[in-house]
Amino acid sequence: MTDALKRLSDEGVAIWLDDLSRKRITSGNLAELIDQQHVVGVTTNPSIFQKAISHGDGYEQQLTDLATRKVTVDEAIRMITTADVRDAADILRPVFDATDGQDGRVSIEVDPRLAHRTHATIAEAKQLAWLVDRPNTLIKIPATKAGLPAITEVIGKGISVNVTLIFSLERYREVMDAYLAGLEKAKAAGLDLSKIHSVASFFVSRVDSEVDKRLDAVGTDEAKALKGKAALANARLAYEAYEEVFSSDRWAALDKVQANKQRPLWASTGVKDPAYKDTLYVVDLVAPGTVNTMPEATLDATADHGEVTGNTIAGTYAQARAELDAVAQLGISYDDVVQLLEDEGVEKFEASWIDLLNSTEAELKRLAPSEG
């Protein structure tokens, strides 16, 4: 079952799981995935925690204790989510040690309601790093305009970051610039750059979902022939940008002092359209130095029937550009698509967080002991 995943790993793709729950931790499932399925990291987001805490088991005792202490709902959520991330980080610690800090990572996101507030994001990132208190944590910061200076500031303080919700190539370049600026600040402050890591989460499937919808509206044979092409093209051109930035003179100066490259991470790799092969955003985005974070269904599909044939990004840049140009020539605005997806991404995570606040508040009230 794991040959395809081993081949993927051998090609230089780090396999991370895009899911976390207390049950996954306490049942031994996460340890099993690390041991048997080549999983070397975990990502979380507000939607994942909302699902885990609202519908999962294993939280009642902690919720009861928090209710007894009469903590606020915001504090309760942070106590619960950081406990899960801390435990997952401990399970992944041997991977972290074996890879010199590159993998064995667990990501936790700043409150999505802060996505457009730079200073609040910085303060939250520092607080989360302190709360989890594990060297193999990545603090997730959204790649909004307000997020960019926060990324620089947080990296400059020596905190490792997962930059999330990247859809556009222009924004991705801004993210890499923010990371390098952060490393330069850290260097000036005398920090050990070898200890600072980052990934840039470039979202994939949602691009096809939006572009395909617009291609269907155009309705021509030419439009239909372009369905399922935009997301891969966009991601492949992101990898081209990554290769360019991390072979620059600016990077060379940081490389000399043991800085780490900010790896591209393919996020949202579960296929949304059942017409596409369920391993599309895994096997067609194979390149060294990347991370692919998969929902469990995609991980299982890749293990079962993924065809890993080597590097599937090298040599694709001209074709990728031609495909995005062809989409644009049909009147579909790339800038409009990626901005809409960023806005929707922030809104969806904020809505999940509010759902989580509401459901947790209801549980705290239910479990609160009667006075006396």
| Angstrom distances, CA of residue 235 to CA of 155, 205, 239, 307 | 24, 10, 6, 19
Backbone angles phi, psi at 219, to 5 degrees: 80, -5
Backbone angles phi, psi at 109, to 5 degrees: -95, 145
Query: Is 145 in the active site?
Result: no
Counts for the chain of helices (H) and strands (E), in that order:
17, 8
C-alpha span between 331 and 320 (Å, rounded): 18
**H helix runs in 99-143, sequence order:** 118-132
Q: Smallest Cα–Cα separation from 126: which of 157, 167, 104? A: 157
DSSP 195-216: G--EEEEEE-HHHHHHHHHHHH
Contact predicate 294/302, CB 8 Å? yes
| Angstrom distances, CA of residue 221 to CA of 227, 270, 324 | 10, 26, 16
**Residue of 140, 145, 213, 272 marked active site:** 140
Catalytic (active-site) positions: 140
